Structure formats: C-alpha cells, structure tokens
Amino acid sequence: MSMRRVAQELDTGPASLYAHVSSKEELLELVYDRVLGEIRLPEPDPARWKEQLRAYALEMHLVLGSHRDVARAALATIPTGANSVRAGEFVYRLLLEAGMAPREASLAMDRLILYVIGDAYEGSLHHGRMRAAGIDDPGEYFENFVGQIAAYYRALPRDRFPYLTKHIDDLIADDGEQRFYYGLDLFLDGLEARLSKP
C-alpha cells in the first residue's frame, strides 16, 4: 500500500490525505485497528479462561489472515486504537480474573498477541510469494515450498547432521495450520501450568 495508491482509489491527490493522517504508518495503524473490530469478544469467564483465550487467538488469527498484509502493521506499534484497547482489556481481564499476577498477565498477553500476529504475518509473506510466482493454488505453492525444504535437508551430509537427515519426513509433516494450533496449545498449556502453581 502506498499513499499514492490510496489517493487514486479515493480519486484525489496524495497531499489531500495528509489532512487526515500524518503518515502512511498512521494510516496502517488505523486500518489495523479497524480490522481488529471484526474480532468478536464474549463476556470474560474466568472459569473458562483457557477455552476463551484459545477462541480469541483463533478468531484473531482468522481475522488477520483474511486481510492478508494487515498483520505487518501490528508489529512494533503501540496498540492505541479503540479496538486494540478493547481486545487488550479482554485478554488482560481474563488472565487477571483467572488468578494470574498483573505483571505476568501483561507478559502473557504480549507474547500471545505477538505469536498470533507473527504467524499471520508469515502467512501473508507466503501469499505474497505465491502471487509473485503466479500460483493460484495454495496447495501447489506449499507443496513446492516444503519440497524445497526437504530437498535441502536430504542434501545435507548425514555424518554432520544425523538427526535432521534421518527425520526429514517428521520435520515437514505438518502444515502451517497444524503448526499454529500446536504452538497455541503449547502456549496455553504453559500458562495453565503457571496458574496451577501454589
């Protein structure tokens, strides 16, 4: 996205956009916050904190994934938009009411959101490469991508990398969605273990 392209879509000049936003970065932050407004948030239920946090992360991942490159706008920014703050309040409240200490809840919220955004951003990079390669079928693209990884590992010297070369099929077995679910469950199980400590 460029300010010039946005101006063309609005049938105006780039200079007129600066009457509304100070920079492209500010516009991206506004777009990102608007997208976060699509995330549905239930009333927090501390008894179901893990289930609700998982549902929130899945919903956020789905919303960001449906808007391709918008996850990039969330990286290294301060979440000050109304929808960013609304989502942050939901997650933080849920963790606090589940019994987590405020400082640890802050760290957990930060890491969870970064995990979701990072995965969504990586997905947008793959879609960009897919478009650049002129491939319409995501299955074809990922089969080719994983095939390149497998070929690289198969070419490694077995005496120096015995574990990687022996377990190539396991290394490439799961798709991006399965890997996201695994990481999310790993994260949530870790939070649960911390909450159950005396």
Distance separating alpha carbons of residues 107 and 98, to the nearest angstrom = 15
Instruction: Kindly report the length of the chain.
Output: 198
DSSP class per residue in 12-58: S-HHHHTTT-SSHHHHHHHHHHHHHTT---PPP-GGGHHHHHHHHHH
pLDDT in the model for residue 24: 79
pLDDT in the model for residue 48: 96
Tell me if 86 sits within 8 A of 39, measured CB to CB.
no
Model pTM score: 0.86
| Residue 63 CA: distances (Å) to CA of 49, 67, 68, 129 | 21, 7, 9, 20
pLDDT in the model for residue 198: 62
Amino acid identity at 106: S
What are the domain boundaries of the chain?
3-195
Distance separating alpha carbons of residues 198 and 104, to the nearest angstrom = 15
DSSP 79: -
Helices (H), the chain: 3-9, 14-17, 24-36, 49-65, 71-74, 82-97, 102-132, 138-154, 162-166, 168-171, 176-195
pLDDT in the model for residue 75: 85
Per-residue pLDDT in tens (0 to 9) along the chain, 198 residues:
778 888 888 888 878 888 888 887 888 888 889 999 999 999 999 999 999 999 999 999 999 999 878 888 888 777 789 999 999 999 999 999 999 999 999 999 999 999 999 999 999 898 888 888 899 888 888 899 999 999 999 999 999 999 999 999 999 999 889 999 999 999 999 999 998 776
**Torsional sign, CA 20, 23, 24, 29:** negative
pLDDT in the model for residue 79: 78
Pick the CATH number of 3-195 from 3.30.2020.10, 1.10.357.10, 3.40.50.2000, 3.90.470.10: 1.10.357.10
